[in-house]
Structure 1
Amino acid sequence: MTLLHNLGFPRLGARRELKTALEAYWAGETTVQALQATGRALRARHWQLQREAGLDRVPVGDFAWYDQVLEWSATVGAVPARFGADAAAPVTLDTLFRMARGRAPTGAPAAACASRAWFATNYHYVVPELQPGLRFRLAYEGLFDQVAEALALGHAVKPVIPGPLSWLWLGAGEAYGAADDSAKLALLPTLLPVYATVLARLAALGVDWVQLDEPILALALPSVWRDAFRGVYGQLLDAPVKLLLAAGPGSLGDNLALACALPVAGLHIDAVQAPGQLEAAHAAWPPDRVLSAGCVDGANVWRTDLAPVLERLRPLARARGERLWLAPSCSLLHLPMDLAQEDALDAELKRWLAFARQRLEELAVLGRGLAGQDVHAALAAARAAVESRRTSARVHRASLPGGTHAEPAHPRPPRAQRLHAQQARLPLPPAPATAVGAFPQSGALRRARRDWKAGELTDTAYGRIVRAEIERAVRGQEDAGLDVLAHGEAERNDMVEYFGELLAGFAFTRNGWVQSRGSHCVKPPILFGDVVRAAPMTVGWTRYAQSLTARPVKGALTGPLTLLQRAFVRDDLPRAQLCRQLALALRDEVRDLAQAGIAVIQLEEPGLYQGLPWQREARAAYLASAVDAFRIVACGADSATRIHLHLGAAHAQALAATLVAMDPDVLTVDEPAGTTPCEDRPDAGAQAVRAAAARLVAERRWEAPPGGLKTLAWTDVPAALQDAVRAAAARREGGVPASQAVA
């Protein structure tokens, strides 16, 4: 019989119970015992749910209080000294929270560890802090406690832990450079004994299989890292448990042969994003070992056409029998919990979707089909849903109003020509001070928006409240002395959801929450069809803000890369084509803002870096699409309108050539704007790109508080704005490049 398992399950709870419990604990409103009770209840509920869905083994260790990478850092004792942890004592839950957040109900506050997007997703992991000579030890018991819980409840378990090489790759430290810095491999001799201890402890509890996640096998690894895989897993060969190596998500490429040569008992591969590697892995992987096929999509929400998947699996099942395992392509952490909770989603669209629980149901159908049971009705229902989506006029529009499918206008004139037109229209000092992103939103504003959406507050009353908040933001910036103001975005519930609600082709859930960072959750919009901008989206609010002040107020738009990156996107078109659709819609919005007299238009693109493929061979096409999209959006404005690109917490060094090709009029980056590319290529062309990017950053960067101000209290906003004003004054006193002095 084919075995069904799962790589990981959402941990928030159907009603975000984990978020509620965490934030109550952090606020001092409840005890650690109450928090732990919530965790136990959620784990028990989720294990039982997976068991009832037909899984033969449930994952344990996928639950984390904040982040699974952080939990493993605590487990192996990688706790920075500033958190004051006793070098011989177990790591406490509050120490873990201080590493993630900088503070907890107990313990002295300290600078939190950095976080980073997980493999081009919107989930953020806490970066392990590494240093030469770091002495690892078994320091945190959370994994063993969870395994004991699951076993006591009668579940067949499969603990899930990060693989040693991926964990090191994800780590950073002052002594180390890029992710692929081979110097980190010197930590393996002291790290691997802790892995051996963990595996021995799990075996003592009665565990026979352990899943080691090695997502970096989907990357083009340097040879020294590839060689390290052979050495590491050779050392783990004598572990008292069987190891399931979970590779991907995505194609392993040349690393498939490497993975198939490793001495592990099982190998999991992604057969959704990279369907062609399923048969290749079957041919290369020894028949006496377990091959786990990731055959339903763990990262996107579209229902699976199960019949062709089942037919592909049949010959593997005949050849491997019980050594064929089925699972989602990756952890279900990135999906909402349950489609059944969406009672307001229209029936046609809902029919096309599958969330985490529905993925388990799809697995169960495949398992029953391979066991010879009658699954014709389930296969027919899946095929009908997929066909309905394929032929729906809601997905493919024959014609789009507003020129959304038209070719963009001619490219904007060269920088020098634009610069003189912009300064003539709107004279500004060198290195102006501005603000980016949203301002804080009060509880009263959020309640008003909720009541307005529920029909309990009139448009007039809601508009009055929003306008008051916009005026508050404008006056605060005037008082701080900013040169160019933001309108504060009081009308927006979210930088993505706001635009998605105004663009045809998007749908939204009520309870489709996905964990983004710690207790922060998002409801990603679902981009299901061709994008249409039926009417202006931001012009009215921006024009109102401009009417309040003689200083220039920017229009602010979320960029096409970010709209894509933070949504579940349709899988029937290339992402580059979807990006272009969004760019064309935003181009029309830029044109309307410019015609309304808005002299500066800001494009928010934090998703540009977040979506940067970890596979370096895929980056060129991705960045070319990003450049194309930016140019399309920008060409909606005339030469006299400044197009402001805000990259959020981006790493400009990875985007040097892209920034040069985009050619924005204004640039803000939320961290020191380095310009060294990820790959140090010695050729003269790369040196020229770095130099050009350095000039661009120096000439066009405006000073602003880092990121949006939305997460601050209103009382903290004035100081943040004044910091930007002081930074701009310091740059002017220190001298700025001549071309910036003109602008």
Structure 2
Amino acid sequence: MTVPFPKATIEGYPRIGANRELKQALESYWAGRIDAETFRSTTRALRIDTYNHLRDLGLTEDYAIPADVAYYDQVLETGLTVGLIPGGTDLDEEFALARGNDTRVPLEMTKWFDTNYHYLVPEIAEGQDITPAPERVLRLVEEAGEAGHKVRPYLVGPVTLIALSKPAEWSLLPALVEAYAEVFRALKDAGVEWVQVAEPAVVADLSTADAELANYLRQAWSQLLAEEARPQVYLTTPYGAAREALPVLGELAPEALHVDLSPWTLDSDSGYPERVRAQVADSTTLVAGLIDGRNVWAANLRVKAEVLESLGIADDAHVSTSTSLQHVPHSLNAEKNLPVDVANWLSFADEKIGEIQALVAGEAGASDAFARSDRAVRTRAESERTHNADVAAKVDALPTGTVQREPSFSERNAAQREALGLPLLPTTTIGSFPQTQEIRKARADHRDGTLSDDQYTEALREEIKQVIALQEEIGLDVLVHGEPERNDMVQYFAELLDGFVVTENGWVQSYGSRCTRPPIVIGDVSRPAAMTVEWSQYAQSLSEKPVKGMLTGPVTILAWSFKRDDVPLAVSADQIALALADEVRDLEKAGIKVIQIDEPALRELLPLRADERPAYLDWAVRAFRLVSLQAKPETQIHTHLCYSEFGQIIDAVAGLDADVTSIEAARSKMELLEDIDETFHSEIGPGVWDIHSPRVPSTEEMAGLIRAALENVPAERLWVNPDCGLKTRGYAEVDPSLRNMIAARDEVAQGL
């Protein structure tokens, strides 16, 4: 007799650890402080503790807990398991693929759908060997079983895995399907009754057309589901609504099917529940992904119950999250300083599991949970924290439609060349310099009161002085102050803007061991006082060279925060833009001639469906332009984008009308620049150093990248810089890498 699918489940859980145990283990292993055996035993203990915790939260049914486990990234983990990425079970080979080493560059990294999580891009080729390594997932099943848990193994699906690879080599699909079948057979032999396979590619418009993806889905899954020696399949479709693929999923009739019914999805496709009800086979257990896996607002349980009614499963509900909970913090219990009223409006990963159980039980069985939900909805709507009449009036007074900085780019460019006097192929960095242990300690001591305001300010000034001196000595042309005062490029601004709250322990994994604490936009946003002027002005006083003022752009602040769900994103973006425009004016008054407005998340918020993208790009570009709208012609406005599919938004990036655009390009070997055409007038700084790897690139390597860039960008428009900020690197890597970058620029410039 087969095991039925659990009533209450989740698509995944934060794997970094409530106290960032995985981060600590990874960084200890990479630094050589622990060996492989200690690393494996430490991470095994974390997994078992997580399973125990989830059981204690109420996920007690067999296979209710997903084993969505990865040391670094789920795409890499699946690729290694099914053999699309060679490497088997070797730990150091896995980390070499993720981070590179002295002899190899890492895999390219980019954003996972429209989230702030980064995945590693498989590099595949026609006719390549595919040799699965099922022991990777079997080990997880065995260790969980020894601890008394029947967990659900997790894999990214074959269609999504190829769709996200470079290139998307569909000739490999038959061999890859056979590899999945082999993994399934191994799981069945190990006694596993359910396997979870995610196919989010079917909710997005990717380089492979939606209709083609639907055909590949039919091809792959008709074969896999026909296999006799396999577990029951729980097929999931997170991050949006399936369109062309939905009838195919209905025909395929996996044993269980997940659909994303989050507010994100229903806002863009209100008829999705009715189509799901009509097209999913009765033989398939329909799992409603009702609880938002990407935002932190407490669910309106009555609205969610109505969706269950529209699906026709209210009396026999199977409920889950819309996506993995890897995108939200672990628990509100770790937050001691959130305002009490605000905390009641929120729901992190653990609290979301309670919401799932309430929906499964229904109001009759969970009346207290429904009452709490009602209070949260009512008090949030009535709160004075939510609305600010002055901010609303300023937004209402803005011009409608397109806004345009004057004069034209060509006139501004001439004024800036005269004002700045930069050489051919000017060099700069993106903004941050390494956050040393000393700076982190000073920040912590200041936070707990053992370091006075004056002492903390002096520590920051001393760090800025050293950073400026190092850049002067190395020979950079446009300097930065290094951002020692900033714990995070978004959180820093959120702490200084009204309309946000920040967490103490709300860590979310971005990639590998990298974690962030996204702020929460709880209301209308405004700037009470200047935020960056003091530090930029001090840094500029130390050098005759221009020092950039550093701002995070409105779209990125919004993207890397938990957003309001009670107003359109465009409204919050305009509010943040107005606050930053005030900062630009104050920086100019302080004598800052170069101002960078970072927008690395511009691509990230791009809707997954092509027909929804123009409206998003209209308001996103407008918000950026509002920040620099009143800037002086001689003020050079930079922007920065990283880890994006640049070609998809080339027109929008050009539309930002920045004077200089720096972009991630090192891992992709400058291929992004192939999308540059005559409509893109900005000067361009494609990254020549991948700072997400600990490698120190040689002068020759970076000179080669500069020459590759010159094939698409004229020398008079080309800048030389790293891919991204240097906060996560150490000076042992930064110093030689920057020196090599300057030497590479000099070598290439001499030949021009």
Aligned position for 2:282: 287
Distance 2:561 2:434 in 1: 23
- AA aligned to 2:618 is A
Distance 1:541 1:401 in 2: 30
Are the aligned partners of 2:134 and 2:183 in contact in 1 as well (CA < 8 Å)? Answer: no
Distance 2:140 2:748 in 1: 54
Distance 1:318 1:101 in 2: 46
Distance 1:49 1:479 in 2: 53
Q: How far off its partner does 1:342 sit? A: 0.7
- AA aligned to 1:51 is R
- AA aligned to 1:692 is T
Are the aligned partners of 1:218 and 1:250 in contact in 2 as well (CA < 8 Å)? Answer: yes
| 1:135-154 matched pairs, under 5 angstroms | 135-154=129-148
Aligned position for 1:711: 728
Distance 2:655 2:404 in 1: 16
Aligned position for 2:679: 692
Are the aligned partners of 1:47 and 1:58 in contact in 2 as well (CA < 8 Å)? Answer: no
Q: 1:276-309 CA deviation, whole Å, 9 max, x = no partner?
A: 3123211221222211100111111000011232
Aligned position for 1:339: 332
- AA aligned to 1:288 is S
Partner of residue 37 from structure 1, selected from 10, 24, 41: 41
Aligned position for 2:486: 492
2:104 pairs with 1:110: yes
2:450 pairs with 1:465: no
Distance 1:127 1:419 in 2: 37
Aligned position for 2:224: 236
Q: 1:296-337 CA deviation, whole Å, 9 max, x = no partner?
A: 111110000112322432465658x65x42101111111111
Partner of residue 218 from structure 1, selected from 203, 210, 214: 203
Q: 1:533-577 CA deviation, whole Å, 9 max, x = no partner?
A: 111111111111111122221111111121122111111112222
Q: How far off its partner does 1:453 sit? A: 1.4
2:269 pairs with 1:252: no
Are the aligned partners of 2:526 and 2:579 in contact in 1 as well (CA < 8 Å)? Answer: yes
Aligned position for 1:635: 629
Q: 1:11 to 1:717 in 2, by over 3 A?
A: closer
Aligned position for 1:592: 586
Structure 2 SS opposite 1:433 = coil
Partner of residue 360 from structure 1, selected from 353, 366, 372: 353
Q: 1:734 to 1:389 in 2, by over 3 A?
A: farther
Partner of residue 180 from structure 2, selected from 185, 195, 207: 195
Structure 2 SS opposite 1:598 = coil
Q: 1:440 to 1:454 in 2, by over 3 A?
A: same
Q: How far off its partner does 1:431 sit? A: 3.5
- AA aligned to 1:531 is V
Distance 1:203 1:143 in 2: 12
Distance 2:621 2:748 in 1: 29
Distance 1:692 1:72 in 2: 40
Q: How far off its partner does 1:723 sit? A: 4.1
Are the aligned partners of 1:351 and 1:385 in contact in 2 as well (CA < 8 Å)? Answer: yes
Aligned position for 1:97: 95
Q: 1:648 to 1:385 in 2, by over 3 A?
A: same
2:24 pairs with 1:20: yes
Distance 1:134 1:345 in 2: 53
Distance 1:720 1:525 in 2: 32
Q: 1:152-180 CA deviation, whole Å, 9 max, x = no partner?
A: 444343322111100111112xxx3xxxx
- AA aligned to 1:546 is Q
Are the aligned partners of 2:89 and 2:136 in contact in 1 as well (CA < 8 Å)? Answer: no
- AA aligned to 2:94 is L
Bigger mean CA offset, 51-60 vs 10-19:
51-60
2:51 pairs with 1:47: yes
Q: 1:485 to 1:615 in 2, by over 3 A?
A: same
| 1:664-675 matched pairs, under 5 angstroms | 664-671=658-665, 672=670, 674-675=672-673
Distance 2:186 2:549 in 1: 58
2:599 pairs with 1:605: yes
Structure 2 SS opposite 1:327 = strand
Output the TM-score relative to the length of structure 2: 0.88
2:80 pairs with 1:74: yes
Output the TM-score relative to the length of structure 1: 0.89
Distance 1:225 1:312 in 2: 28
Q: 1:446-488 CA deviation, whole Å, 9 max, x = no partner?
A: 1001111112111111111111111111111222222221111
Q: How far off its partner does 1:42 sit? A: 2.1
Q: 1:232-252 CA deviation, whole Å, 9 max, x = no partner?
A: 111112233222210131122
Q: 1:241-267 CA deviation, whole Å, 9 max, x = no partner?
A: 222210131122343223222242221
Q: 1:674 to 1:123 in 2, by over 3 A?
A: closer
Partner of residue 349 from structure 1, selected from 342, 345, 354: 342
Q: 1:729 to 1:318 in 2, by over 3 A?
A: closer
Aligned position for 2:12: 8
Distance 1:402 1:596 in 2: 28
- AA aligned to 1:291 is L
Distance 1:592 1:402 in 2: 22
Q: How far off its partner does 1:424 sit? A: 4.1
Are the aligned partners of 2:217 and 2:245 in contact in 1 as well (CA < 8 Å)? Answer: no
Aligned position for 2:170: 185
Are the aligned partners of 2:51 and 2:149 in contact in 1 as well (CA < 8 Å)? Answer: yes
| 1:509-524 matched pairs, under 5 angstroms | 509-524=503-518
Q: How far off its partner does 1:696 sit? A: 5.3
Are the aligned partners of 2:654 and 2:681 in contact in 1 as well (CA < 8 Å)? Answer: no
Aligned position for 1:686: none
2:558 pairs with 1:564: yes
Q: 1:238 to 1:388 in 2, by over 3 A?
A: same
Distance 1:533 1:516 in 2: 27
Aligned position for 1:312: 307
Structure 1 ranges of 4+ moved more than 6 A? none
Aligned position for 2:65: 59
Q: 1:369 to 1:96 in 2, by over 3 A?
A: same
Structure 2 SS opposite 1:515 = strand
Q: 1:584-635 CA deviation, whole Å, 9 max, x = no partner?
A: 1111100111121111111112112333333322322222222212211111
Distance 1:253 1:224 in 2: 12
Aligned position for 1:266: 256
Q: 1:719 to 1:94 in 2, by over 3 A?
A: closer
- AA aligned to 2:251 is A
- AA aligned to 2:323 is C
Distance 2:54 2:309 in 1: 24
Q: 1:374-395 CA deviation, whole Å, 9 max, x = no partner?
A: x222211111112211221111
Structure 2 SS opposite 1:609 = coil
Aligned position for 2:415: 421
Q: 1:537 to 1:401 in 2, by over 3 A?
A: farther
- AA aligned to 2:320 is A
Are the aligned partners of 1:74 and 1:140 in contact in 2 as well (CA < 8 Å)? Answer: no
Q: How far off its partner does 1:148 sit? A: 2.2
Distance 1:729 1:24 in 2: 37
- AA aligned to 2:190 is L
Aligned position for 2:694: none
Aligned position for 1:455: 449
